[in-house]
Amino acid sequence: MAFSKFKNCKISGIVTVVPQIEKSIDDEIALYGGNEKQIQRIKKAVGLDKRRVTDKDTTSVDLCYQASIKLIEGLCINKTEIDGLIFVTQTPDHFQPSNAAIMHGRLGLEKTCASFDINLGCSGYVYGLWMAHMMIASGTCKKVLLLAGDTISKYVNAKDRTTAPLFGDAGSATLVEKSEQVQPSFFSLHTDGSGHDFIKVPAGGFRCPSNSETATSIEDSEGNWRSQDDLHMNGGEVFNFSIKTEPAAITEILEYSEKIIDEIDFVVFHQANKYIITNIAKRLKLPLEKAPCETVSKYGNQSSASIPCTINDALNKQVSTSQQQLILSGFGVGLSWASAIVNLENIFCPPVSIYNKEGTK
């Protein structure tokens, strides 16, 4: 089973950057037949409200580049000391080369820096942390720059109300480095590929290359429009998966670490939506004040970047000024899910930053 315990590794800083463009579900009332009451119910129950999306030219590399620069400057890191670079994304700039290679060049890192992408979404940040910890624990690296960023808004059809009001974009940068202090971190990782169709972009790869036919939007029985080039999501199946899998995942990581929930300061879930997070918390009998769930209402579901964004948005003061023991848990596309228990103590963790297009050079 995929369980891991690491010592002598620490997270030193987390930065998240979101795009300048803000959209609101209030401006998309036409998607709901002009029903203002339905809009208000969705905002209250599901937590959908505002989200940040990129323009047509801005990519996950751009967002993560600015996050990286702010992190490097904030921690006063010598870039020559970074010997590992991981880029978690499902919206790469190109099929080839990897986003990690592009970022390596833009940051001007040493040729001895190992760099690679991880193709994961909602669980990807925790998977990336696990990989960074392994690289350090093995003695391969001393400082690993973990980037997690997605621009899922580019994949959604503007006339699909199951996805259009939900997804936002973001890029994050996290430094994981070797530490002389023994602060154990715990990880558990899972996959259920039998549900791979539940969140999917059907066309665009080599199994089904994009063409004029795949780009044609079709209306479904509920009035949503989407093409084979757009993101398709089975909301009911994703909800059932989330509320069934996540409570067991949190219980599992607590048992593996031999901890109890009272020892945990906060549980930071992937920000799928507020309704899912509150349902998971209730099943765990977890006080809602220990499970931040408002980030999705400000920035949308940010895929791989939602966990770091929640830390920067909701917990930046706590982790910047004291020691906090957190459970991080991501779940979604794949289907895959991953949880971790980590200690964050006086780390560099500024509030969420807004992307500055002039700063991408």
Q: Which residues are catalytic?
A: 122, 270, 301
Structure tokens at 222: 């509920």
Helix (H, G, I), strand (E, B) or coil at 349: coil
DSSP three-state, residue 23: strand
Angle in degrees, CA 270, 298, 88, rounded to 5: 40
328 and 340 Cβ atoms separated by less than 8 Å: yes
Residue type, 176: V
SS3 115: strand
Give CA–CA dist 352/173, Å, rounded: 12
Q: CB within 8 A of 332, min separation 6: which ones?
A: 121, 122, 123, 199, 238, 242, 270, 272, 303
Q: What is the dihedral of CA 152, 127, 327, 194, to 10 degrees?
A: 70
Helix (H) or strand (E) holding 226: strand 225-226
Distance CA 68, CA 16 (A): 9
